[in-house]
């Protein structure tokens, strides 16, 4: 089968502490996949293991039918907001152009075609008017769009985002979800971690609930129910309203 991600019996440990255990998961290409779970449940570590950036103690990870290291040029990772230095003096356009560097050796410079690709990618996410703005001067939603444009410029088949919706207002969150749908239509596979369970229930093809191990996995409408969400979030409290909306309280 044509899989974007295939994880079997994955175990990851930091300093002898097991943070992920016996995790198996498959994501088909061209789907929108969400990862949910309590803080400290291993979501970010799981993403890093897909990127080959944490040592694996057991199991296997295959990305785009190859090892995660070999797959790297076809994978784009959008870090959590605090992982990026927003005061860095760089324009939106130059951030997007970085996507092209992935296909160049470290001594090669971007060509005219690379510059055009970067501009087209910025246009696809509706940010071309902001090309010469400093990245730090943008709103949270706009920053996410620029990073997604960088992934498009990279021609990444798999786009992995760590809590992209955190800190965005409701409008920006919906716009981001629309953008995910657009990426999916264009054949990209998108994997995101999120705390927004409604967003997963509404727009995602598949969901993985992680709390050290897999608590739930499958099509959101089929696997996300009150009992299992309570189990997943343990000491947190998911509340399901009569309208079907779900919120989680810490």
Partner 1 sequence: MISDWFLEPLQFSFMTRALIGTSLIALLSAFIGTFVVLKGLAFISDAIAHTAFSGMAVALLLGWNLNLGALLLGIFTAVGVTFLNRSAKLRNDTALAILFTGAFALGIILMATMPNFAGDLSSLLLGSVLSIRVQELYWIIAAFIGVGIMLKVTFHHLVFVAFDPVGAEAAGIPVVWLQTLLMIMISIAVVVSIQAVGVVLVMALLITPAATAALFTRNILKMMGLAASLGLFASWIGMYIAYYVAAPPGATIVVVATLQFALGLVISYLRQQQPLNTEGRRSS
> Quick check: 73 binds partner 1 (CB under 8 A)?
yes
List of residues 6+ apart from 124 with CB closer than 8 A:
149, 152
154 in contact with partner 1 (CB under 8 A): yes
> Given the rule CB under 8 A, which of 21-29, 76-84, 212-220, 222-230 is the region that contacts partner 1?
76-84
Tokens of 22: 């016996």
**Residue-by-residue DSSP string for 41-74:** SSHHHHHHHHTT-S-EEEEEEEETTEEHHHHGGG
Which residue, 23 or 54, is less far from partner 1 as judged by CB?
54
Q: Residue 93 to residues 60, 89, 90, 226, 247: CA-CA distances in angstroms? A: 37, 12, 8, 44, 37
Whether 173 contacts 165, CB under 8 Å: yes
Q: Is 180 helix (H, G, I), strand (E, B) or coil?
A: helix
With CB under 8 A as the contact rule, which of the stretches 25-33, 54-62, 69-77, 174-182 interacts with partner 1? 69-77
Both tokens of 123, joined, read: 């246009």
Nearest-approach distance from CB 143 to partner 1, in angstroms: 12
Confirm or reject binding of residue 226 to partner 1 (CB under 8 A). Answer: no
Answer for which of 8, 31, 98, 198 binds partner 1 (CB under 8 A) is 98
74 token code pair: 């076809």
Decide if residue 204 touches partner 1 (CB under 8 A): no
Which are the contacts of 152, defined by CB distance < 8 A and separation ≥ 6?
Answer: 99, 121, 124, 125
Residues 160 and 128 sit within 8 Å (Cβ to Cβ) = no
**Residue 78 makes contact with partner 1 by CB under 8 A:** yes
Least separation in angstroms between residue 158's CB and partner 1 is 11
Q: How far is the CB of 168 from partner 1 (least distance, A)?
A: 19
Is 16 one of the binding residues for partner 1 (CB under 8 A)?
no
Rounded to a whole number of angstroms, the minimum distance from the CB of residue 95 to partner 1 is 7
Q: Is 51 in the site for partner 1 (CB under 8 A)?
A: yes
Q: Which residues bind partner 1 (CB under 8 A)?
A: 51, 53, 69, 72-73, 75-79, 83-85, 88-91, 94-95, 97-99, 101-102, 106-107, 109-110, 132-134, 136-137, 147, 150, 154, 156, 160
């Amino acid at each position: 089968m044509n899989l974007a991600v295939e994880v079997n019996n994955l175990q990851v440990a930091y300093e002898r502490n097991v943070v992920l255990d016996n995790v198996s998961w498959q994501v088909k290409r061209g789907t929108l996949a969400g990862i949910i779970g309590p803080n400290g449940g291993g979501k970010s570590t799981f993403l890093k293991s897909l990127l080959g950036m944490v040592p694996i103690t057991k199991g296997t990870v295959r990305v785009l039918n190859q090892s995660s290291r070999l797959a790297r040029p076809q994978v784009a990772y959008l870090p959590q907001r605090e992982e990026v230095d927003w005061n860095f003096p760089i324009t939106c356009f130059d951030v997007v152009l970085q996507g092209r560097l992935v296909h160049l050796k470290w001594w090669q410079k971007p060509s005219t075609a690379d510059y055009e690709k970067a501009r087209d990618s910025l246009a696809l996410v509706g940010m071309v008017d902001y090309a010469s703005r400093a990245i730090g001067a943008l709103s949270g939603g706009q920053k996410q769009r620029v990073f997604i444009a960088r992934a498009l410029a990279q021609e990444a088949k798999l786009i992995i985002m760590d809590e992209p919706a955190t800190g965005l207002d409701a409008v920006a969150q919906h716009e981001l979800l629309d953008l995910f749908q657009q990426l999916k239509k264009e054949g990209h596979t998108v994997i995101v971690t999120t705390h927004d369970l409604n967003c997963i229930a509404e727009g995602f093809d598949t969901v993985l609930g992680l709390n050290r191990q897999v608590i739930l996995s499958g099509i959101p409408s089929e696997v996300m129910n009150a009992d299992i969400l309570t189990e997943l979030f343990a000491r947190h409290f998911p509340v399901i309203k009569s309208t079907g909306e779900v919120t989680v309280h810490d």
